[in-house]
Amino acid sequence: MKVTDYIKNSNKTIFSFEIIPPLKGKGIEDICEGIDPLMEFKPPFINVTYHREEYDYKKMGNGLLKKVSIRKRPGTVGICAALMNRYKVDAIPHIICGGFNKEDTESALIDLKFLGVDNILALRGDPMKNESSFVPVEGGNKFAIDLIQQINEMNNGQYLYEETKNSPSNFCIGAAGYPEKHFEAMNLASDLRHLKAKVDAGAEFIVTQLFYDNKKYFSFVKKCREIGITVPIIPGLKPITNQRHLTFIPKFFNTNFPEEFSNELEKCKTNEEIKKVGIEWSIEQSKELIGAGVPVLHFYTMGKGQSVKEVASNVF
């Protein structure tokens, strides 16, 4: 079932969350450990991230270096199948531009179509660690809009290098939105224009980057509506739970903490105190968003569900 149908058929805010595949060599049990505590809130869909392969250089016996491919978190498609089978929920895989040419992308989409996956979150993806900016592989999609257009073409029965129409896919395509703008965008206005182009290309829902100031989300939605973006805009949340988050999240996700929130965090002396403040802030955020009638509250668990459960227990 499509995300848009779940939203249309629900008379209240839906609970959903995102997981990351476990490190290479870990099993499905490691995933379920984080998911099981959250299933009591009846999420109709769960997002599964994709992490592109990275490269390392290993010393050879002759003194030369050999480029070695490393994929630390494989298994997005397999995890989607396991979630759908085990929990009877819809799985939403992240499909990214990085690391794929268009033929690779088409093959992955065909596999997902055979699995019965109905929804896709289409993303450009991050640059590799050794790249100063994103570089697509030869023959790959350069931007998220290019990927959305390719998926939409499959939805219309048009596959690569095929002159005739084929069996169409029926993916509901999601795109990412940034209430505080994408870190590479010149400003929020230009970022919104790119988002509008993604919707015009076929995106049917938007999931936002995590944020801690609801005013930023409400303003973002208002600006989206003003330029003609009418699709559902799903807010993304993540409770702060430890000292590392205080610097990692603002830097990596390009998001700011409201002054009131940061003042409380600065008073904390232990991770336990930080976690308490973070969960309380997330609860209040969630209550305000639900009161405003958001279609879905989407939580970034990063593989750990306990803090999200504490928030959900207070708002759902």
The catalytic site residues sit at: 18
- Helix ranges (H only) for 54-165 are 76-87, 102-115, 144-155
Instruction: Look at residue 17 and give its three-state secondary structure.
Output: strand
Please give the Cα distance from 142 to 303 (Å, whole number).
29
Both tokens assigned to 244:
């590392």
Q: What is the 3-state secondary structure (H, E, C) of 202-265?
A: CCCEEEEEECCCHHHHHHHHHHHHHCCCCCCEEEEECCCCCCCHHHHHHHHHCCCCCHHHHHHH
Instruction: Give me the residue label for tokens 């939403």.
Output: 92
